[in-house]
Structures are given as structure tokens and as C-alpha cells.
Amino acid sequence: MLSGPLLYAGCVIPSRLPFVEAAAAFVMGRMGDEVRRIPGAGCCIDPVGLASLAPEARGAAAGDLRRRAGERSILALCEGCNFSLSASAECSGSTIGFLEYLDGSLERIGGLVESPLGLRLAVFPGCHAESAYASRGVSAPEMMERVLRALGADPRHPSGGMCCGGGVSGVDDALSRRILDECVNALDSTGADAIVTSCPFCFLQFDLVARRRVFHIAELAASALGWREDASKYHRS
């Protein structure tokens, strides 16, 4: 049995959404968990598309992370990393996603909430999250709904799929935008006040075009647990 997890933010979150990592660390600290990161950790490879071009690259990246983490399990803050590492022989079975971490801590969360969210939130974990968690026999949307209820929110589940189109952005921009517009329309139909995702790629996609505020689940969890940082400068919407 591996010991407590090391937080792994990947490459997109530190470079483009640093508030997500700060929020996650705050949540872990509030719950009394040690906040430690994988020393010298780099990109997991898969979400940037290299794994499909060079399948051995995923194994090499996962193996490097496994060596750097030692006997500790890996707490993946990015759902792309969660998916990539969970699919690798090197890290499968020793990787958990941040949404999964929150879902496994509902009792602790319930006792720590200082500011219930009080929002109607459209649930969109994303396709990387769905694939990663489905491989472990759990549902990403159901986990997110449980977490949001514990944080004092009213989760709303949209119809349709869980792909935001980010995976084909830069390859087929017209297709990416069509998928994205369909997602935004489905999310709007829920009557929610805002959108919540656990995937940085979905966050960036929705933040471009959504007609309402987009949140990362770590940001909302931190806010409900007393985080007072203003992350609005990182949001376009």
C-alpha cells in the first residue's frame, strides 16, 4: 500500500491556471493533509497529443513520474494527466484524481465548509475525467454532484456528451468550435448560474465562449472552505 499522495499539477495548470494549484493546496491543508509535490515533475505527454504519435513517450513520462514519486501515490490535479497516468502500466493503480480525492473526503469537507456555495452549477467533468474514472468503475458526474452538494451547491447535469472539443483544437478548429457550442448550449439549458469542471482544458475552452462564469472544482472547494484569494483575473468570462 502506497503512502499519502504527492500533488501533481501537470504542465497546463502551472503555466495557465496557477490559481487551481493554489486552491487545491489550500483544500488539502484545510483537511489536514500534507501538501507535497513531485520534485522535478514534467509533462505527462498524453494531453498534448504526443502519445498518439509516439506511444512509448507515455510510458517514458509515466515511468519518470513514478520514479520521482517513489513510494507515494500521485494525486493528479489535471484530468488529462489523470487519464494519461491511469492508462499507463507504470502509474495505473497508484494515481488518483483530485475529484476522486474530494469525493473520498465528503465527511471531512462537510465539517469544514465556512461559506456554502449557494449556486446552481452545471456539471461538466470532461471526457478525460469520464474515461479515467470509468476505468476504475466510478462515475465522474456522480462524484462531482456529491462533492458540490457537500459544498452547498445545487448541481445540474446537462444532456449530451462530455467532450468540450479541446482535443481537436488546433487540428480542426471548426469541429472544435461546433462541439464547444453544442456543449455550451446544453449547459445553458440547465438554468445554472455557472459551469464547473475538473479539467483545465475544458476550463480554457468554456472560458473563451461561455455566457456564464466557469469554475474549476478546486477553486469552488477552496472558496467554500474559506479561501479568500481572488481568482477572477484568470477568468475571461
pLDDT tens figures, 149-200: 999 999 998 877 778 888 777 677 888 889 888 888 899 899 999 999 999 9
pLDDT mean across residues, the chain: 87
Q: Predicted confidence band at 74 (pLDDT cuts at 50, 70, 90)?
A: very high
C-alpha cell at 150: 457537500
Burial zone of 151 (CB within 10 Å; 0-12 exposed, 13-18 middle, 19+ buried): buried
Q: Predicted confidence band at 53 (pLDDT cuts at 50, 70, 90)?
A: low
Residue 227 is which amino acid? Answer: W
Mean pLDDT, range 120-134, rounded to an integer: 92
The β-bridge relationship of strands 72-76 and 120-123 is unpaired
C-alpha cell at 103: 469525493
* Residue numbers of the domain that contains 61: 3-234
Mean pLDDT, range 121-126, rounded to an integer: 94
For the chain, what percentages of helix, strand and coil (3-state, to nearest 5) are there?
50, 15, 40
pLDDT tens figures, 18-35: 999 999 999 999 999 989
Query: What pLDDT sits at residue 42?
Result: 80
Q: Which of 217, 207, 194, 215 is nearest to 237 (CA)?
A: 207
Query: What pLDDT sits at residue 141?
Result: 94
Query: What pLDDT sits at residue 118?
Result: 96
Between these two residues, 23 and 60, which has the higher pLDDT value? 23
Sign of CA dihedral 14, 19, 25, 31: negative
Q: Whole-angstrom Cα distance, residue 137 to residue 55?
A: 25
Residue 190 · residue 157 · CB < 8 Å:
yes
Residue 152 · residue 111 · CB < 8 Å:
no
Beta bridge partners of 120: 154
Residue 3 · residue 69 · CB < 8 Å:
no
Residue 122 · residue 158 · CB < 8 Å:
yes
Q: Whole-angstrom Cα distance, residue 61 to residue 51?
A: 10
Query: What pLDDT sits at residue 55?
Result: 65
Q: Provide the CATH number for the domain around residue 50.
A: 3.40.50.1860
Residue 81 · residue 47 · CB < 8 Å:
yes
Could you give the number of structural domains in the chain? 1
Query: What pLDDT sits at residue 121?
Result: 97
Query: What pLDDT sits at residue 1?
Result: 36
Query: What pLDDT sits at residue 48?
Result: 47
Residue 199 · residue 140 · CB < 8 Å:
no
Reply yes or no on whether the pLDDT at 208 is more than 60: yes
Residue 180 is which amino acid? Answer: L
Sign of CA dihedral 58, 59, 65, 68: negative
Query: What pLDDT sits at residue 113?
Result: 97
Query: What pLDDT sits at residue 47?
Result: 54
